[in-house]
Amino acid sequence: MLFEQLSETVKDSDSLSVQNHSLALRSFYNLIQLYNDQVIPLIRKNMQTSDPAKIVSALQVFMHVFQEVPQTEQLQSEVMHSVIIMIQEDLKPVQKALLNFIEMLGQHDYLALPQGNFIINYVIRLSESDCSNEEDIQILCSKILQMVSLPKLITLACQPSNTLAFVLLSKTATKMALRARSRGQVPYLSSFHLSPTQFISPQKLLTHLVVLSVKPYREGEFGVSSLRLLYALHPITSLHPIINSSVGQLWMKKIPQMLQILDDHTEKNLNQEEWEDRLLQFSSQSLVAIDDDSWLEQLIKVVLERINYFSDDEEKAFLYKFFGFTLRTSRNMKLIKMMISSILQTVHEELQEREGIAVALSIVSMKHLKIVLDQLQVYSAVLTDKDSSFILKLMKEHQRREWGLVCNIIYLSYSKIILESKGDIFTHLDGILAMVLQHYHNCIMEKDKNLKLEYLDALTKLTNILSSHPMAFQFKFPQKLEIVTFMMELIREEPLNSISSSIRLKAMNIIIDFRKLHPLMELEERTELLRTCYKSVLCLPSTEVLQKEASSLQEAQATVDLFRETLQSLLRLMETLIVEMPSRIQHCLELLDTWLNSQKDNERERAMWCAARILGFTAKMNNFGMDIEFSRLGRLVRLLALRCQDPVDNICFLSAQAVYSLYCILLLQKQMGRKKQGLWEEEGKNEVYSANVFYNNTFEIAKAFAEYFTKMQLTTLVLTAMEGLTDSRAKVSLAAAQLMSAVMKERGRDMIKIEEVVEGILERLNSQLEPNTKEETVRAMCLLAGNNTHTVVPMLLNKTLPWDRTNLALWKAFGNQRETTISVLQLLIGILERLHSKEETKEMAFQPVAVTCALYEMLSGSLCQEAVQELYPRLLLAILCHLYWVIEQNVPQKMVVYSKEGGPGSKSKPFDPTSCALEVVKLVFSAAAYDGVVVYGDQHCCWDLLSCPRFYYIGIMDLTSNSWLPVFHPSGIVKTCEPAILHRILNLVRSLLYSSSYHWKILARAFYAQLLWHRSVAQTLGQDLLVNLIKWVKEPNLIMKEVGLRGISNLALHPGQAESLKGQVPFLKDLLKNEARVTVQAVKSLRNIICHGKGEDIKVVFCSISKQLCPLINDERDQVKISATSALSHMLRHIDKFKPRLTTRREIYTFLVPLLLSIQDNNTEVVKACGRALTEWTNVIGWSSLTQTFRHITLSDHIQVLEETCKYLVNTSKTQLVGDLLFQSFGFLKSSQSFLRAAAINFIALTVKKLNMSQIHEDDVELLQNAIGNLRNDPVESIQSLVNTTLKKIDEYINFRSISTSRMSQISNNILKVTGIKNPERKKRLFRSVKRERDDDNQKIWRWLQSPLNSLRNRYSGRVKDIPHKSGNSDKQSTGSQVPTSESPPTEAGPAAK
């Protein structure tokens, strides 16, 4: 009932419930005094129930009556038992009441009982940091813990199981210690070492508190709590032999400082490494202050024990350091050796454990280096000594692993010692390295792949640290070279068809670690090292192959990763060698040639990685004070440039990077050199180029590097690039060609060994190159020729004719680039000029013929117009001179010097030297855009003339301007070419007018003469012009005469010049009786003087030359006849403009008979010329009815036209004019030309036919008959027949009239005639009396007519005889003769003159 009463909830506001609760407790108090034996069991029974309310009530009752209960051992045992049961039930509603009860028990020393530990542990669990626990529970726990003895409380705090409650326990212990001190009860720790089984030892306590301080902000206050507890426990005045006062003094100084640091920082901003160092220094100083080896020994054992059983990695790492610092303070060598040996025997499966051991030994070595090294050497015997090694005692499957672990510990220890050493270790290092080699060579295990890996992995740790130590470079390590050699052996042993292990990777890393250590490697050793590493890495199969050979995806990825790491290691190795010997960069690159030129994509790509890395690293060194030479720069650039066009895109990218790095190196070297010379520095130039610019751009590469090549490097680049032309990969071969052409474009003039380059290019062009490659190679040769014309062109010219397609393609290419075209053309022109300016030889020279073949190809292209125009005059003259020279040579029959390929399905066209030269002449005009000249030459047979030595000069003149055409029509070169071009030609030929070379002189003068057709040329030459022309005309050479006359003729075309030339008319008139072509040109000159003259004087000039011109109308030479007739037509047309008067008209009449005779010619041109002349003649005289007849005359109707003309003459009723014309025709009956004799007979016959012969005076008829009759014995039978026919017809005409007349009339007429009596019907006289004063021409006619006149006189005198009378040379003339003279002006008939 009372328990139920107590179980009810007490409300402070309800006074009755409070009073009931108080009375119930008082009731239990009274009962316990009366019935102790019965009440206690009842209370304990309620304490052990599962009802929290009953338990709480029981605990309240027990606490209320506990003072009145006798404290027997039995009671203590029963109470502790009940408490333990409640703890085990751990009902939360009961916790507060239970803690109050436990607090009461603690006041009665129950916690000191054996079962007290269970209760204390329960209280500790409740005190652990847990937000669910109420604050008053935490306070109760703290009160209870303060009832525990300080040593026990500290022991509990240091137990690992109580870590979460450490803060509370340490705070409680700190309060207790401080409270004891305030009471003068210093909390000595001396009892700790006396009861090691009950309480924590001082060594463990120190170790634990220091370790917990490593993470000062763990659980918020770990570090602070640990340090404060340590500070509270310091024995300031203790004279204890273990912990003396110096420790306390140290702690009083250091601990507050560390606490202040923790207060000033947080977990985020505290430097953990510095904090750990501070803790270690604090520990080390404390141990120095303790200065007790036995104490120290115990501490070391504690640390080792804690190391072996601790699982927290960070704390374990700290413990290894703590061990090192602890052992370092010892002066007991034996202890040090023993402890070192002990730590080496500890567990070392994990890397952290091995590193911890190494760190510990490195700390110890700072004071005891010799001992540590000796102990390591002793320990390393297990690797090589089979007799003493514990490794061999292990199971076989663990032996190799253990060997590697031991090796790892030893080398890691050495590395840590080196890291911490200030230099003392380096005096022992060579011995250590020698021992390292022995570990492998004398290994107790079989040397398989795994052992190699273990060994190399361990050694890497040593060499890595060694290479990074700043003092390492101050010492020499003779063992270095042996280790490097050993690593090379390991690399060579690795298979080249797989990468199953990281042996080559680790070996190269070790070599890298020895980069700058002395002694440095010699060149031969470096070469062998690079070759070995290159071969081992670059020759491995491609990653695709490696992946296919893998058994799984994971293995495949691992293999690829391993290869990439290995390649990176190789790249780093090259960097180390560069650092070691920077002047040997080129050597490193040259060793890559084999793989850079490999046919395997993967090998080229890897090699390019290496090349890019070498150059990139060098460029970034930015230390160009050193002498970095690229003596084979040309070869290197060629190699990289070709790779920039590699089929593999990544190789192109890497090559571009490498090229840019190389460019930066050279640029920086150049800038540094300029700075040393005090010259202006080129800045920003490297910004012009970048790797992107060089990517797939061979031309930019060549442009960028051009200035850096020496002549030899430049040549080497081209020679080596030629080797790539035949590469099977089209892109690479094209790149080689592009590189050649680009370099030649930039620096072609600096090339040497030109002959070798030319022959090499020709050889490769003759092979089967890719079309694009061949095109670019030809372009390269073109650029080479443009820059080295005097070397390249003669070599190509000396090739045997006819040339093959390769040579022809080269010459054609020479005509496609302006600069090259100009340069080559200048040389070719020079060859022609030089050879043909010499005295001619009988044998035909080979080189000029080759020049024409070359020109044929060059000019047959369509891109050389600008270049040809620039050199056009000189080129034209040179090839024309060559043509003149070659046509005079004795060319072998069917000699072929050039063969032009025909179209598909057609044969090639062969050319001999002449036809080739002639074609080149045409091409010169076409290439210069003067196709009109070619067309003109075709139309006017100029090419035929030029091909004939006899008429060559005529071809030149006709090609320049054809004087056969109407004077007002320009033609040929003069018409087509611009005045500026004509003047350029003129300037050239003027210097050659009096050349010692006959060929040049003829060519120059022919051009000179014909160029005068152009007004601007004639005006330019001035006064010396006519002097030169007259001088040439006076030369005995007929060609020179003709050329000079042609010049005068052209000069007369221009206003003002014709007037000045009138004074030369007598001189020119004398030339009309010269050789045919001279005569023709003289006629043309006179024609032009008259036709282009002004004023009345031209009629005087015409009259002055008419007597000399008229005979030429009937000249036996057709060209003279045509020229004279044509000239006459032009003259008559011009004279007609000035209204010719009687004197002039007389002279004009003299041309009618010659024209009417010539019109009977069978030569169409002669007939046409006569038709034109007669047309103009009729216009002048006014015979307009005949104009149309003559204008349209042809060869088929010219006799009919003649007959109509004769009819017109007779019908004019001007018998005297007909007689004059007939008399004039008598002169042609004695002509040496049979044609003229026959023509004259025809003219006489047709005229007589139209006359009424019965009305013609007998004397005239007889004279007519006798004149014709003299030709009865003509040597030409057709003329004899014509004479007889004509005489017969004359007789018929006379007899026809006589039939109608009486005989008487005839007799009377005869009588009248004999007697001299005049007939009433007077007959007409045809011929006038012949005067004695006759000119030369009429004298001849007169002498010829003397015979028929004498016969006629004899008849009148009655002494007529039937005997032919010979014409003699008598000068006596009959005064009674009625033969007209030539000087008598004919009486005009027909229509009135204009």
CA distance 1343 to 1346: 5
CA distance 661 to 156: 69
Cis peptide before 519 (omega within 30 of 0): yes
Tens digit of pLDDT for each residue in 787-831?
999 999 999 999 988 898 889 989 988 888 888 889 999 999 999
Determine the pLDDT at residue 11. Answer: 64
Which tokens is 1382 given? 């030539």
- Residue 30's CB is within 10 A of a number of other CB atoms, namely 13
Determine the pLDDT at residue 580. Answer: 76
Bigger pLDDT: 1232 vs 890: 1232
Determine the average pLDDT of the residues in 338-344: 90
Mean of the per-residue pLDDT values of the chain: 82
Determine the average pLDDT of the residues in 760-779: 91
Let me know the angle formed at the C-alpha of 564 by 559 and 566, rounded to the nearest 5 degrees: 95
Tens digit of pLDDT for each residue in 725-736?
988 888 888 999
- The backbone torsions φ and ψ at residue 900, rounded to the nearest 5 degrees and listed phi first, read -95, 125
Determine the pLDDT at residue 1128. Answer: 92
- Is the separation of the CB atoms in 48 and 40 below 8 Å? no
CA distance 1352 to 1226: 17
Q: Which range among 73-77, 230-234, 968-972 has the greatest average pLDDT?
A: 73-77
- Is the separation of the CB atoms in 725 and 733 below 8 Å? yes
- Is the separation of the CB atoms in 286 and 206 below 8 Å? yes
Residue found under tokens 């072929």: 896
pLDDT > 90: percent of the chain: 19
CA distance 783 to 460: 57
pLDDT over threshold 70, residue 1385: no
Determine the average pLDDT of the residues in 570-580: 85
Determine the average pLDDT of the residues in 1122-1148: 89
Which tokens is 11 given? 């409300």
CA distance 241 to 208: 22
Determine the pLDDT at residue 1393. Answer: 37
Determine the pLDDT at residue 286. Answer: 83
The amino acid occupying position 1083 is V
pLDDT over threshold 50, residue 968: no
The helix/strand/coil state of 612 is: helix
pLDDT > 70: percent of the chain: 85
CA distance 628 to 621: 12
The helix/strand/coil state of 1298 is: helix
- Residue 319's CB is within 10 A of a number of other CB atoms, namely 26
- Is the separation of the CB atoms in 1074 and 1115 below 8 Å? no
The helix/strand/coil state of 173 is: helix
Determine the pLDDT at residue 127. Answer: 78
pLDDT over threshold 80, residue 1168: yes
Determine the pLDDT at residue 757. Answer: 93
Query: HSE of 957 in the Cβ direction (CA atoms, 13 Å)?
Result: 27
Tens digit of pLDDT for each residue in 598-625?
889 999 999 999 999 989 988 888 765 5
CA distance 109 to 147: 8
Determine the average pLDDT of the residues in 178-196: 62
pLDDT over threshold 80, residue 316: yes
Determine the average pLDDT of the residues in 1219-1243: 88
Residue found under tokens 């009429």: 1338
DSSP code at position 898: E
- The backbone torsions φ and ψ at residue 1299, rounded to the nearest 5 degrees and listed phi first, read -60, -40
- Is the separation of the CB atoms in 935 and 929 below 8 Å? no
CB-based burial label for 897 (10 Å; 0-12, 13-18, 19+) = buried
CA distance 695 to 735: 12
Determine the average pLDDT of the residues in 69-76: 80
Q: pLDDT band at residue 532, thresholds of 50, 70 and 90? A: very high
Which tokens is 352 given? 């952290």
Let me know the angle formed at the C-alpha of 295 by 294 and 299, rounded to the nearest 5 degrees: 115
Judged by average pLDDT, the poorest of 302-311, 491-500, 896-905, 923-932 is: 896-905
Q: pLDDT band at residue 1357, thresholds of 50, 70 and 90? A: very low
What are 518's strand-pairing partners?
476
Determine the pLDDT at residue 842. Answer: 47
Determine the pLDDT at residue 237. Answer: 34
Query: HSE of 1236 in the Cβ direction (CA atoms, 13 Å)?
Result: 22
Determine the pLDDT at residue 1371. Answer: 37
Cis peptide before 802 (omega within 30 of 0): yes
Determine the pLDDT at residue 531. Answer: 92
Q: Would you give the distance in Å from CA 1342 to the centre of its chain?
A: 95
Q: pLDDT band at residue 1343, thresholds of 50, 70 and 90? A: low
CA dihedral angle for residue 1062, residue 1068, residue 1072, residue 1073, rounded to 10 degrees? 140
pLDDT over threshold 60, residue 196: no
- Is the separation of the CB atoms in 407 and 438 below 8 Å? no
Determine the pLDDT at residue 1332. Answer: 34
Q: Which range among 66-80, 396-410, 1049-1063 has the greatest average pLDDT?
A: 396-410
Bigger pLDDT: 683 vs 1259: 1259
- Is the separation of the CB atoms in 1084 and 1045 below 8 Å? yes
CA distance 225 to 241: 27
pLDDT over threshold 50, residue 229: yes
Rounded to the nearest 10 degrees, the angle between the axes of helix 1097-1109 and helix 1142-1149 is 20
Judged by average pLDDT, the poorest of 116-130, 241-255, 390-404 is: 241-255
Judged by average pLDDT, the poorest of 187-196, 228-237, 300-309, 695-704 is: 187-196
Tens digit of pLDDT for each residue in 646-701?
889 999 999 999 999 999 888 888 888 777 777 765 555 556 788 888 888 888 89
Determine the pLDDT at residue 59. Answer: 81
pLDDT over threshold 60, residue 1257: yes
Determine the pLDDT at residue 240. Answer: 44
